[in-house]
Amino acid sequence: MDLKEVHEQIHTTGISRRHPWELARLEVVYALSATYLHKPEGGGVQVLDIGCGDLFFCSNLAKKVKGAAIIAVDTALDQEELLALNKQYSRDNIRVFQNLEDVTGSLQEAEVIFLLDVLEHIPDDAAFLEKLRLYPFITENTVLVITTPAFQSLFSSHDVFLDHYRRYSSESLSRVLKKSGFRILKNGYFFFSLLPVRLLQTVWEKLRPGAAQRSETDAAAWKGGLLSTRLFQNMLLLDYKISALLGRAGIRIAGLSTYAICKRSAL
């Protein structure tokens, strides 16, 4: 979840529950990036997670990729949260920073970089990517794994509440990456079953403007138990497996999220 969603959920309920979407996305992102996370010759991989939130993704990745050295960055973390997270996850070989400038002296080369639902929060995404490309820890071998919410036509109160500037199609995400000096290795969509749900929500908001006022997101409002959470999580994972299978057959279908895997072009 976005840190804003985590804080809102804890404020409202006193606890943090993981939404099935977030649990399923973890598995989808791992499936998309597993090739780059496990070295044929063995040894730990150097990972950088930009926009790490409360480290849900990083902490789970550390369990899946033994020996990984993970650096996590989020400008929304305050000093108290930084200290607490570094203490909590020090045994998992995770270090947490507030900005990328602090990372430069601690990371020689990032082998895999994750930007999971981050670009939509940045006013000038192209300028951010162009600057990111020039950091010394990004080489021509560094793999970037990027996810964003899909389709500007579905921009809604959900996006406004989370301070999103835009949503992306697979084409528009690839376009801004290429413009900023990256070459695309793979791209596509996932979670096609959520598209009609979000479309109905967006249409409803347009018909009933008063319904567009939000004090929380669906993720922050999630109150499902273990059984219902697992059920919806598995439905989304089946959704991904179907779209991946169709993709291998040359049939590409849209989804509520889009992704791109890329590398830096030669300087």
Dihedral of alpha carbons 182, 166, 70, 241, sign: negative
pTM listed for this prediction: 0.90
pLDDT tens across 15-55, in order? Answer: 457 999 999 999 999 999 999 998 777 678 999 999 999 99
Question: pLDDT tens digits for the chain (267 residues)?
Answer: 555 555 454 434 444 579 999 999 999 999 999 999 987 776 789 999 999 999 999 999 999 999 999 999 999 999 999 999 999 998 889 999 999 999 988 899 999 999 999 999 999 999 999 999 999 999 999 999 999 999 999 999 889 999 999 999 999 999 999 999 999 999 999 999 999 999 999 998 888 876 556 555 666 667 788 889 999 999 999 999 999 999 999 999 999 999 999 999 986
Length of the chain: 267
Edge-first strand order for the sheet with 69-73 is 94-97, 69-73, 46-50, 112-116, 143-149, 257-264, 182-190
Looking at beta carbons, which pairs linking 79-88 to residues 24 or more positions away fall under 8 Å?
85/54, 85/55, 88/55
CATH number for the domain formed by residue range(s) 3-264: 3.40.50.150
Q: Are 21 and 86 in contact (CB under 8 A)?
A: no
